[in-house]
Amino acid sequence: MADLGLYALRLGLLLCALGIGAGLYAGLAQREEWTRVSERSLLLVFGACSLAMLALFWALGTNDFSLAYVASHSARTMPLHYRLGALWGGQAGSLLLWGWMLTAYGAVAIFGNRTQNRRLMPWVCVAMLLNVAFFLYLVNFETPPFERVPHADRLSDGNGLNPLLQHPVMMIHPVMLYTGFTGFALPFSFAFAALVTGELGTTWFRTTRRWTLFAWSVLSVGIMLGGRWAYEVLGWGGYWAWDPVENASLMPWLAGTAYIHSVMIQEKRDMLRTWNIVLIGLTYGLCLFGTFLTRSGVVQSVHAFANSDSFGRLFLFYVTLMLAGFIAALLFRLPKLRSANKLESVLSREASFIINNWIFMAILFVVFVGTMFPVFTEAIGGVRRILGPPYFNTFAGILALLLLVLTGVGPLIAWRKASLASLQRQFVVPAAVGAATAVGVLALFGTAPGYWAISAWGLGAFVLTTIVQEYARAIGARMQRRGESAWTALTTLLRRNQRRYGGYIVHAGVVILLLGVSGAAFNTERLENIRPGESTTINDFRLHYLTAEAIPAQHYGGAKARLALYRESDRSGQGGTPLAVMTPEKRLYWLEQQPNSIPSIWSSWREDLYVILTAVEPDGSGTFKIYHNPLVNWGWSGGVLFVVGCLIVLWPHPEKDAAGVKGSGA
């Protein structure tokens, strides 16, 4: 089976060459039959990559330790689902997954455009196949997943997967990120095809709109799942540390979010045509750049794949070459991209979206500089210097507050030009609610939470009020004009104007998520050594240390502590309401010889209590790191609401699709 996967990868690379040649000839000579050859080549590459994926899954599932990849990233003692998940736990397997997903998106584009966009399709195939060919080159010659171990060096058991990756979320999180990254290859390829053919209207982004939103939504979910994994596994009490690899997924999300907002201006007003093509090129370029960061060893991270300098240089060359080709096509068509329409007023939805884009680009710049700062300082002075979380929190935090303002203001301002009277009518109630909320937070807590948390609550209330107001007005209008019930009016709005009202739900999810983040202003932590039978307190919680016991698991050992958690009825430390028994663990994985702390978390809507066992001492006492994290579940619930909004926006609407209102050709 492994040999079948190996030959499938080699055949896939040859088919890529055939498809690229056929696509170039079809595009230049405008020969439809050669376009079909290029499309069929891409479909066959998809089949070859699928066969290679199945072969590697089979090898992992059957413990084929004759393969170096299986021996390095799997072990007999691991459960089957983690053995299969090891496919994306290493360099070669994750690159194979990348290439396979690219071919899957290519197949989607082919089936969705069998009878339309025929001038674009040869160039779409060329762009997709060039990307696939690079990843197939890597898994054929640089990091082959089917490389054999010499017989004398074969192990009866493997080395096992990194213990940090042996978590249910890591069965989903990397796949979601890769699905988002590779999904942006579709609009990138259609934009490239539009530049080459000169078809620079709205066809290229209307065709890929739904798939662009899908890629962006899945990438968003992947980022949130990464935060959940960090919160439960890394044992530092938080969910976002501005780690370079976390930032590598955030940067294309920022550019993609700017694109999703900006492209609405082109659709409504035929403006920003050049900027939108730049944004989609930047988005996919950052997807590739983030993959380069993860795999090149340029940055240090718990998430990163180690590899050689030559691999990093090769990947950087590919990213540079791909973007250079895109930029060359853009410069060639630049005179035809100019729009006749201009911005008419700063008090307009166009202006708010343009400012929105500037802020997203400013946050992107902050994140990029902070991420690459160690690389820049090492190149200039020979010493790696790091810009820590305070840098990111300060600059990105200020910009995030500005985005909150625009989240409430932008969708309610009229296109072209808004009057001051309409602005007053739209915003007097939301502004009053926002101001009252900020004053209320100040009255309750004073200035202790800091400017960011107080501003986030005031602005969050402002945005949520604008959303409720929009829904109330629209539902009230339908009830009055059509005699519909409130529920019927709501469902009709969501069905007939998914993008607008589903988008409001997405915005509400983001606001609630940021309110959850603001809870970090009230975080407290303690480091305590406690003997069995003793207690410690943090805020109004009491932890009573019961005992510690050995862990009898097969592929790791260590200790599990048991602590009874009480909410005290008063501050005296006596009595209290029992809440849970918390069981933090300290593990040592035998094969990997790697320690790991598994926190125990008690959650409510108001707060989390987060306990880490750092050590069990010879006298039986335990050393615990204890965190009290308010509003964490607000962040996760905001993420869930965000996903609900995305699903509403993406949900198929046969009537509109048939009428051609929504393009979904890709």
- Do the strands 556-567 and 585-589 form a parallel or antiparallel pair, or are they unpaired? antiparallel
Q: What is the pTM of this model?
A: 0.91
Q: Where are the domains of the chain?
A: 1-161, 167-338+361-369, 523-633
Q: What is the pLDDT of residues 57-113, one digit of tens each?
A: 999 999 888 899 998 888 887 888 888 988 988 889 999 999 999 999 999 999 999
- Please tell me the predicted confidence (pLDDT) of residue 661: 42
- Please tell me the predicted confidence (pLDDT) of residue 617: 85
What is the rounded average pLDDT of the residues 275-299?
A: 88
> Exposed e or buried b for every residue in 5-35, given b needs 16+ CB within 10 A?
bbebbebbbebbebbbbbbbbbbeeeeeebb
What is the rounded average pLDDT of the residues 115-133?
A: 94
What is the rounded average pLDDT of the residues 352-380?
A: 91
Q: How many residues does the chain have?
A: 666
Average pLDDT, the chain: 88
CB 258 within 8 A of CB 360: yes
pLDDT band per the 50, 70, 90 thresholds, residue 223:
very high
pLDDT band per the 50, 70, 90 thresholds, residue 303:
low
Count how many Cα atoms sit within 13 Å of the Cα of residue 596 in the half-sphere of its side chain: 21
CB 590 within 8 A of CB 486: no
Q: What is the pLDDT of residues 533-552, one digit of tens each?
A: 999 999 889 999 999 888 87
What is the rounded average pLDDT of the residues 622-628?
A: 93
- Please tell me the predicted confidence (pLDDT) of residue 158: 77
- Please tell me the predicted confidence (pLDDT) of residue 165: 81
Tell me which of 636 and 347 has the higher pLDDT: 636
Q: What is the pLDDT of residues 161-212, one digit of tens each?
A: 877 888 888 889 999 999 999 999 999 999 999 999 998 888 888 899 999 9
- Please tell me the predicted confidence (pLDDT) of residue 495: 85
CB 82 within 8 A of CB 38: no
User: Was domain 523-633 assigned CATH 3.30.160?
Assistant: no
What is the rounded average pLDDT of the residues 255-261?
A: 94
Would you say residue 662 has pLDDT above 70?
A: no
Cα–Cα distance measured from residue 133 to residue 55, given in angstroms and rounded to the nearest whole number: 20
Would you say residue 467 has pLDDT above 60?
A: yes
Q: What is the pLDDT of residues 587-616, one digit of tens each?
A: 887 776 778 888 999 999 999 999 999 988
- In whole angstroms, how far apart are CA 196 and each of 20, 116, 332? 15, 17, 9
- Please tell me the predicted confidence (pLDDT) of residue 618: 85
Would you say residue 135 has pLDDT above 80?
A: yes
Would you say residue 33 has pLDDT above 90?
A: yes
Handedness of CA 658, 661, 665, 666 (dihedral sign): negative
